[in-house]
């Protein structure tokens, strides 16, 4: 059950999404991690309706594993991202709703969805341009009086998740 949001809320949420996208594009992992809440789940399933308890995923990071992933990227010897891939992604078709049944009781949470396409140059090996299209669902939560947002879910549903995928060591 979800309800509509005000224009001000929508603008604030869109600004958050664009910042998150830009930090990921630029491999700015410390700043990106600041956008993430303590119960974060970063998930790239093989199919939109997959069940992570029964189906293997491309990526299924809880908060701890995500922290390890980011730490690995920051070692300087993560060959699959050395050098980091230059990337630019576009977000579109953004739809925002306020959660009537938030994950954290009493919290102001939003269910957000968008289409995206990310262009990635595989600078570490083939130097070919990869195109990563899909739909992304975010779970966002407002914190404190200022209403600052944190992300507790990023579910990335690649159009071609079930097909052979090139190496994907960055944050999609």
Partner 1 sequence: MAAIPDSLSAAQPRADGAVNYDELIQQDRIHGSLYTSEAVYRDELQKIFYGGWVYVGHESEIPEPGQFVRRTIGEEPVLLVRTRDGRPTVLKNRCAHRANLVCMEDRGSARSFTCPYHGWVYGLDGKLLDVPYPNGFTRDRNQYGLPVLPLVDSYRGFIFASFNPDAGSLRDHLGNATRVIDRTIAMSPTGEIKLTAGWVKHKFQANWKMLPENDTDGYHVNFVHASFARVIRSQYDAAAMTAEQELKSRTIDWGNGHTEIDFAPAYPGELAWLGLPDASRYPDYVQAMEQAYGHERAHQLLHDGPPHTVIFPNLFLAEMNIVIFEPRGPNECVQWHTPLLLGGVSDAVNDRIMRQSEGALGPSAFLLADDGVISERQQIALRSGQAWLDLSRGEQREIVEADGSRIGHVTDETTNRGFWHHYRKVMTR
Residue 109 backbone phi and psi in degrees, to 5:
-125, 150
Residue numbers 12-51 binding partner 1 by CB under 8 A: 44, 46, 50
- Please report how close the Cβ of residue 77 comes to partner 1 at its closest, in angstroms: 5
Among 2, 27, 72, 115, binds partner 1 (CB under 8 A): 72
Of 82, 76, 87, 72, the residue nearest 117 (C-alpha): 87
Using DSSP's 3-state secondary structure scheme, residue 2 falls into strand
With respect to partner 1, which residue has the nearer C-beta, 144 or 164?
A: 164
- Please report how close the Cβ of residue 49 comes to partner 1 at its closest, in angstroms: 12
Residue numbers 108-127 binding partner 1 by CB under 8 A: 124-126
Pairing of the two strands 148-158 and 36-44: parallel
Q: Measured between alpha carbons, how far is 32 from 171 in angstroms, rounded to an integer?
A: 10
Q: Measured between alpha carbons, how far is 102 from 92 in angstroms, rounded to an integer?
A: 25
Q: Does 159 bind partner 1 (CB under 8 A)?
A: no
Q: Which tokens in the block code for residue 155?
A: 């579910």
Q: Which positions lie near partner 1, rule CB under 8 A?
A: 44, 46, 50, 52-60, 65, 68-69, 71-73, 75-80, 124-126, 128, 162-169
């Amino acid at each position: 059950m979800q309800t509509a949001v005000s224009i001000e809320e929508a603008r604030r949420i869109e600004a958050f999404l664009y910042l998150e996208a830009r930090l990921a594009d630029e491999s700015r992992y410390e700043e990106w991690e600041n956008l993430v809440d303590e119960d974060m789940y970063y998930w790239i399933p093989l199919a939109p309706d997959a069940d992570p308890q029964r189906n293997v995923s491309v990526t299924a990071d809880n908060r701890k594993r995500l922290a390890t992933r980011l730490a690995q990227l920051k070692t300087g010897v993560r060959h699959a991202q050395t050098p980091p891939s230059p990337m630019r992604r576009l977000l579109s078709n953004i739809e925002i709703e306020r959660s009537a049944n938030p994950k954290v009781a009493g919290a102001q949470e939003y269910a957000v969805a968008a289409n995206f396409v990310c262009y990635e140059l595989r600078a570490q090996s083939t130097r070919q341009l990869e195109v990563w299209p899909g739909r992304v669902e975010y779970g966002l939560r407002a914190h404190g009086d200022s209403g600052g947002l944190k992300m507790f879910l990023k579910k990335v549903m690649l159009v071609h998740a079930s097909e052979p995928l090139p190496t994907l060591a960055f944050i999609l």
